[in-house]
Copies of this chain bind each other. A is one copy, B any other.
Amino acid sequence: MTDSIKRLEKEYRKFVSEGIELNMERGWPCREQLDLSMPMLDLVTSDTDLCLENDYRGYAGTAGIAPLKKLFAEVLQVTEEQIYIGGTMSTTIMYDLINKAVLFGFDGFLPWKDFPGKVKFLCPSPGYEKHFNICKTFGIEMIQIPMNDSGPDMDLVENLVKNDDSIKGIWCVPLYSNPTGIIYSDETVCRLARMQSKAADFRIMWDNAYCVHHLTDEEYRIINIIDECAKCGHPNRVFEFTSTSKITFPGGGVGVCASSVDNIKWLTRTSLLQLKSGDKINQLRHAKFFPTVQSLRDHMKKHRDIIKPKFDLVDLVLHEQLDGWDVAEWINPKGGYFINLKLLNGMARDVWQKCKDAGLSITPAGSTFPYGEDREDAYLRLAPTYPSMEELEQAMQLLCIAIKISYTEKH
């Protein structure tokens, strides 16, 4: 055992003995971010006129209030008739859509539960574990699709979708992808819209969660896949999602779905019994807080001011500690919530465990893959927003020590 590994192990034991508790497991906004939206809570009071449209206090109005539909229509570049605002979270809408497809089928199609054989979904990986958990919940078989710098491997996607009518959809986080941070290229978007699918009810679940969550001055924008699908003769192929969970308050925000007019009519009609209307008063709070897209953009800059230094700190410590070791690859993303760390094969689980044993929670190794199966055992998802800068510095030092020890033990 060299002096170097002895020193690393001493540092590691120091962390263990200190009994720290650090958490960079979830993409949760930190307190300072949540504080940004506190003024929103003053925008609806007992003096506010709520007798607008129907009456925002009453039962009427299933798909959302007009001013908020207008805002999101502008953000997502669709018409107001193409917007459905449901409950508080976009995951609720995604879950519900898959539930409806399984049990009742999409508008005019066979319920997936009655499809002869197993229904399958394409899962670009690493990806978002909640998407995969929805598939798991409904017994939908997941097919891993490798991700590259411009999105999923489109040759593979096209080939699979063209030839197999049991493949009913694909999950995508097209902008600042969770967790890789990559941005889908125009070509990828167009190929997804244009490709032939053997299943007539093939659906793209387009989770545009980070559509306004930029970390640089360049406000990247994906081309409008809803329009592209319509142009290519597949108007109902895509459901797009976003929410205010990481804009205002998680849990106390609004979930949004955009699609073709027909799909939104179908979604509204089939949701009426389940959720007569979302919380229109809270929708108005949001509409008043963001009277224009520019005001939303300004608000997101304040988020960026808080979290960009955290991303830079992660990037800095990784470079300082790991440059020259040839043990890890990552990019400092231009938006979103995560940094995806690709270690040498066979290291992720071990590093995750070493961190856990010393009091640092990271998203479990494998989580970003269908069935938790990272065959290379190489990927760790880092979520830098929630901890303070001090905690993050400490967490990153610990992580790098764990990586070095793991590497040294194995090589």
Q: What is the interface of chain A, defined by CB distance below 8 A to chain B?
A: 26, 28-29, 31, 34, 37-42, 44-46, 48, 50-51, 55-59, 61, 87-89, 91-92, 95-96, 99, 102-103, 113, 130, 133-134, 137-138, 245, 249-252, 273-282
Query: A252 contacts B279, CB within 8 Å?
Result: yes
Nearest-CB distance from A202 to chain B (Å)? Answer: 22
Q: How far is the CA of A277 from the CA of B46 in the complex (A)?
A: 26
Query: A29 contacts B58, CB within 8 Å?
Result: yes
Nearest-CB distance from A171 to chain B (Å)? Answer: 14
Q: How far is the CA of A229 from the CA of B91 in the complex (A)?
A: 35
In this complex, what residue of B is CB-closest to A96? B274
Given A59-B26, A250-B59, CB of A87 within 8 Å of CB of B275:
yes
Interface of A is mostly: loop
A50: chain B residues within 8 A (beta carbon) = 34
Query: A88 contacts B279, CB within 8 Å?
Result: yes
Instruction: Choose among B58, B59, B102, B282 the residue that contacts A279 (Cβ–Cβ < 8 A).
Output: B282
Instruction: Choose among B45, B88, B89, B92 the residue that contacts A41 (Cβ–Cβ < 8 A).
Output: B45
In this complex, what residue of B is CB-closest to A270? B137
Query: A274 contacts B92, CB within 8 Å?
Result: yes
Q: How far is the CA of A320 from the CA of B297 in the complex (A)?
A: 63
Q: Could you jot down 10 A-B contacts, CB within 8 Å?
A: A31-B51, A34-B57, A42-B45, A57-B251, A87-B92, A91-B276, A102-B103, A103-B103, A250-B276, A251-B276
